[in-house]
């Protein structure tokens, strides 16, 4: 292909076409893509038709009563995330020249960060850059990583456990930027008066005969791994993602639990429970996940800097 032909195709590409193709690839229909983008279905069809008229390249084709991406459409979808990030980075740098008086950060984070870390981050970013708009959605790490990959989020705050067999920062985050920005202590939650509460730190093996209250699937998996390392299989009596409910159950003597520090900091401590470090000083790692190159977008860079400052 000649340089002129390449230049012509590059000139015909625009951010909206890239976004449309990415959403068609993800959702499999024009209607669903339009819903995801907040457009009407005719507007999405017209966007693709304009590109085809300018270039002679079809991006979608009809199959029965539905549509699918053509080979050209699949090629564009494969590059869509990088293209969109690069264009947004360019727009962001222009905003930086204006003093970051405008910009947008779409944030997603896990539930126990919602009541503690996230409000502080949004407040700090708003104080430093009041022109930057922030939106927030709560999601567990695997869903948060997927949101960044699909360009539904600019920045994900996630966590992982040492030895996590289902770590969302491995294959599912391939091609994204993942950086650790801190560690979060894990604490045992015990009923007041529990024999183990007399110790400053507690070996999990001392709780082998207690019933346990487990949390999210990945937290439950971590409990099983820690207990296995301590030489026992925990008897899980109850499961709930609600960390306030966990404390209430522990207070009633229904079991013991492990909770991360952010979850414990999210609400006042129940007066009838105590927390203790584990003998191994167990922690989980906190991560930032972005598209590659997203730190060149000034609003995203400002959010990363604010979060790392809070963590420090």
Residue indicated by tokens 């015909």: 12
Tell me what pLDDT residue 10 has. 52
Q: Are residues 163 and 302 in the same domain?
A: yes
Q: What is the pLDDT of residues 7-27, one digit of tens each?
A: 455 555 677 888 888 888 888
Q: Are residues 300 and 163 in the same domain?
A: yes
Task: Report the chain's mean pLDDT, rounded to a whole number.
Answer: 86
Query: Can you tell me the distance from the alpha carbon of 43 to that of 235, in angstroms, rounded to the nearest whole number?
Result: 56
Tell me what pLDDT residue 122 has. 95
Cβ-count burial of 11 within 10 angstroms (0-12 exposed, 13-18 middle, 19+ buried)?
Answer: exposed
Lowest-pLDDT range of 100-104, 213-217, 262-266: 100-104
Domain coverage including residue 73: 6-81
Strands 176-191, 283-291: pairing kind: antiparallel
Query: Can you tell me the distance from the alpha carbon of 295 to that of 301, in angstroms, rounded to the nearest whole number?
Result: 5
Instruction: Answer yes or no: is 87 within a domain.
Output: no
- Residue 146 burial (CB count, 10 A): 18
Q: Are residues 113 and 63 in the same domain?
A: no
Q: Which of the given ranges, 54-68, 182-196, 283-297, has the highest pLDDT on average?
A: 182-196
Closest by Cα among 18, 19, 36 to 27: 36
Residue 84 confidence (pLDDT) above 50: yes
Q: Are residues 51 and 200 in the same domain?
A: no
Q: Are residues 67 and 127 in the same domain?
A: no
Higher pLDDT, 298 or 274: 274
Tell me what pLDDT residue 86 has. 77
Tell me what pLDDT residue 17 has. 84
Q: Are residues 295 and 160 in the same domain?
A: yes
Q: Are residues 253 and 292 in the same domain?
A: no
| Cα distances (Å, whole numbers) of residue 65 to 29, 30, 62, 234 | 10, 12, 7, 52
Instruction: Answer yes or no: is 299 within a domain.
Output: yes
User: What are residue 190's phi and psi, to 5 degrees?
Assistant: -125, 150
In sequence order, the β-bridge partners of residue 211 are 235
> What tokens does 163 get?
């030895």
Residue indicated by tokens 């002679």: 56
Helix/strand/coil for 191: strand
Instruction: Answer yes or no: is 88 within a domain.
Output: no
Q: Are residues 49 and 10 in the same domain?
A: yes
Lowest-pLDDT range of 7-11, 39-43, 270-274: 7-11
In sequence order, the β-bridge partners of residue 108 are 137, 156
Residue 92 confidence (pLDDT) above 80: no
Instruction: Answer yes or no: is 307 within a domain.
Output: yes
Closest by Cα among 169, 149, 174, 150 to 158: 169
Q: Are residues 77 and 111 in the same domain?
A: no
Structurally, the chain folds into a number of domains equal to 3
Instruction: Answer yes or no: is 64 within a domain.
Output: yes
Q: Are residues 197 and 63 in the same domain?
A: no
CATH label of the domain that carries residue 219: 3.40.190.10
Q: What is the pLDDT of residues 103-158, one digit of tens each?
A: 889 999 999 899 889 999 999 999 998 888 899 999 999 899 999 988 899 999 99
Q: Are residues 178 and 291 in the same domain?
A: yes
Residue percentage of the chain with pLDDT more than 70: 91
Higher pLDDT, 256 or 43: 256
> What tokens does 202 get?
């507690």
To which H or E segment does residue 133 belong? strand 132-138
């Amino acid at each position: 292909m000649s340089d002129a032909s390449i230049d012509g195709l590059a000139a015909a590409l625009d951010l909206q076409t890239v976004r449309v193709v990415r959403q068609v690839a993800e959702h499999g229909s024009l209607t669903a893509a339009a819903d995801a983008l907040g457009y009407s279905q005719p507007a999405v069809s017209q966007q693709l038709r304009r590109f085809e008229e300018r270039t002679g390249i079809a991006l979608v084709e009809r199959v029965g009563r539905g549509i699918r991406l053509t080979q050209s459409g699949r090629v564009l979808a494969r590059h869509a995330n990088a293209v969109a990030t690069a264009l947004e980075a360019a727009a962001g740098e222009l905003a930086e020249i204006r003093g970051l008086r405008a910009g947008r950060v779409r944030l997603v984070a896990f539930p126990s960060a919602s009541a503690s870390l996230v409000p502080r981050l949004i407040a700090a970013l708003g104080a430093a850059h009041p022109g930057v708009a922030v939106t927030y959605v709560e999601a567990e790490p695997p869903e948060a990583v997927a949101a960044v990959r699909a360009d539904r989020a600019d920045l994900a705050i996630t966590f992982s456990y040492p030895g996590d067999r289902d770590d969302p920062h491995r294959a599912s985050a391939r091609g994204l930027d993942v950086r650790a920005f801190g560690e979060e202590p894990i604490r045992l939650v015990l009923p007041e008066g529990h024999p183990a509460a007399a110790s400053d730190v507690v070996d999990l093996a001392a709780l082998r005969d207690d019933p346990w209250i487990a949390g999210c699937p990945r937290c439950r998996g971590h409990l099983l791994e820690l207990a296995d390392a301590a030489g026992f299989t925990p008897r899980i009596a109850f499961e709930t993602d609600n960390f306030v409910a966990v404390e209430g159950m522990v207070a009633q003597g229904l079991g013991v639990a492990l909770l991360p520090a952010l979850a414990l900091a999210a609400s006042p401590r129940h007066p009838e429970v105590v927390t203790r470090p584990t003998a191994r000083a167990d922690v989980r790692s906190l991560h930032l996940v972005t598209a590659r190159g997203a730190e060149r977008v000034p609003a995203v860079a400002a959010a990363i800097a604010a979060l790392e400052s809070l963590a420090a």
